[in-house]
Chains A and B, each alone.
Chain A
Amino acid sequence: MTKTYYDALDETLFRATLPNGLRVIVNKKSGFAKKQCYFAVDFGSVHTDFTFAGENHHVSAGIAHYLEHKMFELPGRDVTAEFAALGTAVNAFTSYDMTAYYISCTENFPQALRLLLEFVSTPYFTDESVAREQGIIAQEIGMSADEPGGRCFENMAAALYERHPIRVPILGTVRLIAEITPQMLYLCHRAFYTPENMVLCVVGDVDENEVCDIARRVLGDEKRPCGEKLPFPTEREDAFEPYVRQNMEVAMPLFSLAFKTTCPEKGEAAVRREVVADLAAEALFGESSPLYMRLYEQGLIDTSFGGGFDTVDGCAMLSCSGDSVDPDAVRAAILAQGRLLAAQGIDEHAFLRMKRSALGRRIQDLDGFASTCYRLCAFEMSEFDYFLFPQIYDMISAEEVRGFIEQTVKEETCCLSVIYPIKEESR
């Protein structure tokens, strides 16, 4: 177990890798009642092709999310009720490249942690329970299909990428999930829910040694073979399709605009890339940028507008989204501003102010238990100590951010997805 104190943040992290390969991180928060814990798996919706036990496998899109739903069952026990009796809130999410199970509680933390580790490490699926879940997930898919913002992003991802599995929504589709069997769920669990492929992170006033002891007791010390994800198909550098549109029950058009960029490496390079890209987003169309003010004053964007850098295993994009009466005009203005910044560079004084602001916000965000837990897990999977971010800000120059904009904000890499209202006459 190592202990690190981060002076700039006044935070302490304990880290350990257990004999079974599980990485454990504890962010000790003395004097807080709340405890938040993430048990995260390096497995998400894009990981549909892998090798395990000497064989190549392809599983249905949507299976990572389906598996997440089905994990909440233990033979003859009611996991949700047991957590409730401990006063613990439990939930989970599946993203494109991570599945995370999380709990938060104020009391009974050791018991709740034990239960979390137990249910996530115990697969139990029957034909009947898998079939019953299909009705529930089909409704979740229906709900998500009516959610314009999410739909707009999904359409954009499928247009920007030609072959990467980010093209398929995380939940899959009703037809795809109908193919899922208990055997497929068992296979994915065996291949990816191995301690070595997981991170356990706790934020709160807990005993770090007890966390490790409980994890060893529940999960055992044995290392298990882990599935190997197959490389994603080679992807073109430019946008597959520059435009995509759909009509939905919305009041005003909403858009998602993205610029495809190369995927960052792991380690320090990954976080440096994220920070550079965030600063680029700020310089290009952030609230203090000249472009933001111009578009806002022209009524082309409103406070729903925002953007940043998104990475998914094998993908990276600089993107923004919001409501607009004229998304094409927003696209044209951002491209023009990108060219201008690439040619003229970023004003040094403005750049320092942006850095100060971005750093201040990241520090403030550390008060959020859940977001801190999530970031610690995500960066652990990218092999970087997230709490070193203040040093990264120190290293970055305006020129590096300008270079990123020059490389990224281009017509060829750009995709605009718009959801338009359904026209009155077609109603």
Chain B
Amino acid sequence: MYTTTELFPDVTLRCIRDGRFKHGVLSIRFLRPMCAREASLNALFPELLLRGCRSAPDLRQITARLDELYGASVGTQLSRIGDCQTTGLTCNFLDDRFAAGGDRVLEPMIGFLSELLLCPVLEKDAFCAEYVRGEKRNLISALEAQRNDKQAYATTKLLKNMCKGDSFAVPRLGNIPDVRRITPRSAFDHYQTVLRESPVEIFYVGSAQAEYVAELVRPMFDELPRAVRPLPPRTDFVPAKPSHRSEKMEVSQAKLAMGFVTPITITDPRYAAMQICNSVFGAGQTSKLFMKVREERSLCYAIGSSYYGAKGIVTAYAGIDTERVGQTREAILAQLAACQRGVITERELDAAKEGVLSGLRAVYDSPEAMHGFFSVAAIGGLNRTPQEYAEQIRAVRVEDVVAAANTVQFHSDFFLKGAAHDENVL
């Protein structure tokens, strides 16, 4: 059962009551505009909150508390939803009925989460300097480590080039110079701004009644000074100038990332058709990219495509031999052209639809999946249920897919060339 409660103005609690699981999920998210100015701050401050709070001032004591709560876990909640960045905390915990001898987990869990969120360890009206130093270092490492995953690296570079000037080009964790500039005071000031000015979304999935969860969560915001500033309106995406770039690394496999644009975004009535179009083109084992480029031509192992509905961008990727880049690029474009010409069998269409439908049916079988689906729907401003979306998917016809494919235009690519000859591979 899904209920939405307005706890305070701009503080919304959404609960899904479901007693089938052994664990529950609760997240508290603050909604921020996705912008270069605060991306790093939004990424950093929740990490600082997880270093210590009044009754558990260091890592060890935090973990000890979580251990007492039957192995509960707390993490930061940082994500991009459209032009919005969400930041905050999330926790997973054992359902009360599995705790020993009538022990309770949910109530102390929310109490502890509240303390982590609102009572950080401070020094002279700023975050603890030692914690800030450590977490800045970790965030910088995380940013540097992005080059470790070569496929993701190539796609990120591609999107950065395509989306120059748009919120989508702002990296989710910000960038290293911005992190370096953060001080204990600037982080604390920002944290207070976030608490005061941001719309808040609280999401719970578990066995407890919504009223009970509301009762436990409400005190967190009771005395919090609030003066909410509405988020800036969604901006239309204007693609940057097309670019075709490459970079060399000492890797044994090269990575090709290709970017396409479409005017169809998440609020467009053709959105479902566009999602199916992406599935037929490159998502999964029945897609054209998998069947034609991998299975028939053995050009690659990893290949696929993704559709970013918030902006109307499709990306395709493949891990290949450096010298086969021309062949692969042509093969990928040929598969898009096939979709545009309507070379789509009933079987391909059904497989694409079934793939999406199956995912939608399984949303209710995991607290994380429900949390993900419903919170993104709510924050993204698209309040629809999996069933409602499934209806739209079922209604998609071949001609809708072809029409959607014909809006897709090749825009840019990024190629990570391999330069290594690794004897271990041979």
Contacts and interface: CB of A to CB of B under 8 A. Distances in A.
B59 A296 contact: yes
Contacts of B365: 32-34, 369
A248 B148 CA distance: 9
Given A33-B365, A251-B148, A359-B71, A143 B141 contact: no
Nearest to A73: B295
B367 A367 contact: yes
Contacts of B350: 84-85
A16 interface: no
A139 B148 contact: no
Interface string B235-247: 0000000000000
A184 interface: no
Interface stretch (A52-60, A227-235, A284-292): A284-292
Nearest to B319: A143
B98 interface: yes
Contact of A88 (B67, B130, B320, B358): B358
Given A88-B358, A145-B422, A299-B134, A288 B63 contact: yes
Contact of A251 (B60, B141, B367): B141
Interface stretch (A212-220, A261-269, A349-357, A399-407): A349-357
B16 to A, nearest CB: 14
Interface string A356-370: 111111011011110
Contact of A293 (B59, B149, B253, B355): B59
B347 interface: yes
A9 B298 CA distance: 47
Contact of A142 (B249, B319, B354): B319
Contact of A252 (B70, B141, B301): B141
B59 A287 contact: yes
B59 A364 contact: no
Nearest to A88: B358
A173 B298 contact: no
A296 B63 CA distance: 13
Contacts of B150: 146, 249
Interface stretch (B20-28, B78-86, B330-338): B20-28
Given A142-B425, A146-B150, A356-B70, A248 B250 contact: yes
A375 to B, nearest CB: 14
Interface string B129-156: 0100010011001101111111000000
A422 B92 contact: no
A33 B362 contact: yes
B94 interface: yes
A293 B50 CA distance: 13
Interface in B248-278: 249-253
A66 B134 CA distance: 45
Find the residue from A81, A132, A367, A369 having the highest chain B CB count within 10 A.
Answer: A367
B7 interface: no
Given A143-B253, A252-B141, A366 B354 contact: no
B64 interface: yes
Interface residues of B, number: 71
B70 to A, nearest CB: 3
A222 interface: no
A147 B302 CA distance: 13
A146 B358 contact: no
A302 B143 CA distance: 13
Contact of B60 (A142, A290, A357): A290
A424 B424 CA distance: 23
A302 B59 CA distance: 12
B138 A303 contact: yes
A357 B357 contact: no
Contacts of B70: 356-357, 359-361, 363
Contact of B134 (A34, A134, A297): A297
B298 A136 contact: yes
Contacts of B361: 33-34, 106-107
B112 interface: no
A175 B141 CA distance: 36
Nearest to A426: B250
B355 to A, nearest CB: 7
Interface in A241-290: 248-252, 286-290
B123 interface: no
A367 B367 CA distance: 9
Nearest to A84: B351
Interface centre among B142, B148, B361 (most CB of A within 10 A): B148
Interface string B1-26: 00000000000000000001111000
Nearest to B72: A360
A292 B64 CA distance: 12
A145 B294 CA distance: 19
B58 interface: yes
A143 B145 contact: no
Interface in B98-143: 98-100, 130, 134, 137-138, 141-142
B376 interface: no
Contacts of A88: 358
Contacts of A290: 60
A64 B164 CA distance: 46
A422 B150 CA distance: 15
B357 A146 contact: no
A304 B63 CA distance: 16
B186 interface: no
Contacts of B422: 145
B98 A145 contact: no
B319 A358 contact: no
A353 B320 CA distance: 49
Contact of A364 (B23, B137, B302): B23
Given A84-B351, A89-B355, A363-B98, A357 B92 contact: no
Nearest to A251: B144
A147 B147 CA distance: 11
A14 B355 CA distance: 30
B74 to A, nearest CB: 11
Nearest to A89: B358
Contacts of B100: 356
B222 interface: no
Nearest to A134: B298
A369 B364 CA distance: 13
A19 interface: no
A141 interface: yes
Contact of A85 (B22, B93, B354): B354
Given A292-B63, A302-B138, 8 more contacts: A85-B350, A136-B301, A249-B150, A250-B148, A297-B130, A357-B66, A360-B70, A363-B70
Interface of A: 8-10, 29, 31-34, 80-81, 84-90, 104-107, 132-137, 139-143, 145-148, 151, 169, 173-175, 248-252, 286-290, 292-293, 296-297, 299, 302-304, 323, 350, 353-354, 356-361, 363-364, 366-369, 422, 427
**Interchain residue pairs A-B with the least CB separation, the first 9:** A360-B70, A135-B298, A84-B351, A251-B144, A360-B71, A87-B354, A142-B253, A357-B67, A288-B63
11 contacts: A81-B286, A104-B358, A106-B362, A136-B294, A139-B301, A174-B426, A251-B146, A302-B141, A356-B67, A358-B71, A364-B22
